[in-house]
A and B are shown apart, each in its own frame.
Chain A
Amino acid sequence: MLRSGFIKGFVLSTLALTLAASGVTAGLEDQLAVYTGSNAEGYLEPLADAIGTNLNNGLFQSSFIPLTGFNAAFELKGMVVWFSDDDETFTAKTEGDFSPTSSAEAPTVVGPGEAVMVNGDGGTTYIFPGGFSLNSFALSIPQIRFGVYRGTEGIFRYLATELGDNELGDLSLVGFGLRHNISQYFGPDFPVSIAGGFLWQRFRAGTNEAGEDMLKSTAWTIGVQAGKVYGEGPASIEPYVGLSLDNHTMDVAYEGESGESPAVIDVSFDPDRSVRFTMGLLAQLAIARAHAEYNLGSRNSFAFGLAFGNF
């Protein structure tokens, strides 16, 4: 009974954090409606970076991959990114027929909730919308790890929910990857475990007024990991490090306020490619594993995870 409660708790926890993330998308289209391309990009950039960073984290929790045998594990990954003061504002430009065209430091999507007013010619006023006052952004993702064939294991991530609200639309995440035991080629006495792998993912959230995906994100990561297992039998700990190359793209499509007929505005963020260094610690007890790691990259982040299976 206790074990089934844990599984139910894992699923509910995953849904809670991913559904909560959809709370951001629910309000996003309202906030974006007054913005066209360049302003929308500046407004969303901290969130786009955070989503990409979180998606590419938590790929692995151990550098050790057995050479043969059947292994399967259900894992729950949590990733969180903190925002800095620099993320709270961006240089926005007034739009439309407002005169004169002016720039102002306006809130980003993670910035203060208060709107910002700018005075113009003839006593007019332009108002920039507020943000969601976010200190951090977290994602929780379930994944399945399975293997092994000649030191190669597979990773599969999947989550799809219908949120039952026309404004929110659907939310889906799918990803797959492979990891391979590299240290096997250095002989049985090689002092550390080394593995290499990649993961590709696609994340979709929200539905705009035109019925299209409001937010689409694609991420991939490729890297190597090294660690050393201390302990034998069912209990062990493993400090590990990793070095990876991450890539992330994001597209947002929302209905803007332009002209008599609302038009769908597409914003595509330039691909964000960066190197990331990981330091972590894994603890295993029987069929359970827990790990925590810190990632240093273009945006620092923290990841943790729980797993159950035969490893």
Chain B
Amino acid sequence: MRRSTFMLTAYAALWLILAGGGCVLEEKVIEVVYTGETCAEFLEAHESAQFTTPVIDDYGDRINDILEEEGLNRDDILAAKVMSAAYQVTEFDHGHDWTISGYITAEHIGNGGPAAILTYTDQSLVAAMPEAVPADLNSDGVAVVNEALQAYLDGGYPMLKFEVHNGTVQPAPSPTDSLVFAWEACIKIHVVYSEELEVPDPL
């Protein structure tokens, strides 16, 4: 081969290599998981062991807040599912401890429930603070919240009602020894959204 032909061939090969540098990027669609949390706060002040405490939650608004923290909106979301729940006492100051037993229901107002979502048995108020206690979840109540999440993804603004149904308190409260505390039940949700990135994948 003549030297000039060889040099031209070498230059052509170099240009191909450099041009190929622009072809190494590929667009990938990746499913990202984000953990969000919504909490319902209950203020208790009772003189008897059996009581109910309702809380209405604008769940659509809550989910919007969770997504905004990540710079997302509902159109970005592929799925949202209840992953776990926990409860904890947030305010309690008394001369002695109490143990309480009961359950919390979830209702998608106008659409589903109420159904028990979590139960608590012989729960010491002191032991429930400051660390949250993992909750034993009930599938009927979880289904209500999952259905509300799906309603949100479908464009709705679900309203949820969480209600404490307390059965027993030890020692029993009375007008002279009333049960006063604040607590919250929090649900963790796994949210899946897709993200497009250009990453190198030359071969």
Contact = CB atoms under 8 A, between A and B. Distances in A.
A134 B199 contact: yes
Given A27-B197, A123-B82, A125-B81, A17 B10 contact: no
A210 interface: no
Given A97-B86, A121-B137, A134-B199, A127 B10 contact: no
Interface centre among B25, B79, B192, B200 (most CB of A within 10 A): B200
Contact of B79 (A33, A127, A285): A127
Interface stretch (A109-117, A198-206, A244-252): A109-117
A288 B10 contact: yes
A197 interface: no
A31 interface: yes
B34 A34 contact: yes
B18 A124 contact: no
A130 B199 contact: no
B99 interface: no
A123 B24 contact: no
Interface string A112-139: 0111010011111111111111111110
Interface centre among B22, B33, B146 (most CB of A within 10 A): B33
Contact of B33 (A120, A127, A135, A288): A127
Interface string B168-202: 00000000000000000000101010110111111
Interface in A166-197: none
Contacts of B139: 122-123
Secondary structure call for the A interface: mixed
B199 A132 contact: yes
A309 B30 CA distance: 43
A138 B192 contact: no
Given A16-B21, A80-B202, A123 B142 contact: yes
Interface in A18-45: 20-21, 23-24, 26-27, 30-31, 33-34
Given A124-B142, A126-B190, A134 B18 contact: no
Given A27-B195, A113-B31, A138 B81 contact: no
B92 interface: no
Nearest to A256: B35
B201 A135 contact: yes
Contacts of B10: 285, 288
Given A132-B28, A136-B203, A9 B11 contact: no
B82 A23 contact: no
Given A124-B84, A127-B33, A6 B14 contact: yes
Interface string A274-305: 00000000000100100000000000000000
B138 interface: yes
A138 B24 CA distance: 9
A117 to B, nearest CB: 7
A97 B132 CA distance: 10
A75 B135 CA distance: 61
B49 interface: no
B25 A98 contact: no
A135 B6 contact: no
Interface in B1-58: 6-7, 10-11, 14-15, 17-18, 21-22, 24-25, 28-35
A99 B199 contact: no
Contact of A96 (B79, B84, B136): B84
Given A9-B15, A13-B17, A130-B31, 9 more contacts: A12-B18, A24-B199, A97-B134, A99-B137, A115-B33, A121-B137, A123-B139, A136-B202, A138-B203
9 contacts: A9-B18, A12-B21, A30-B32, A34-B190, A113-B194, A120-B83, A122-B139, A122-B142, A129-B31
Interface of B: 6-7, 10-11, 14-15, 17-18, 21-22, 24-25, 28-35, 78-79, 81-86, 134-143, 146, 188, 190, 192, 194-195, 197-203
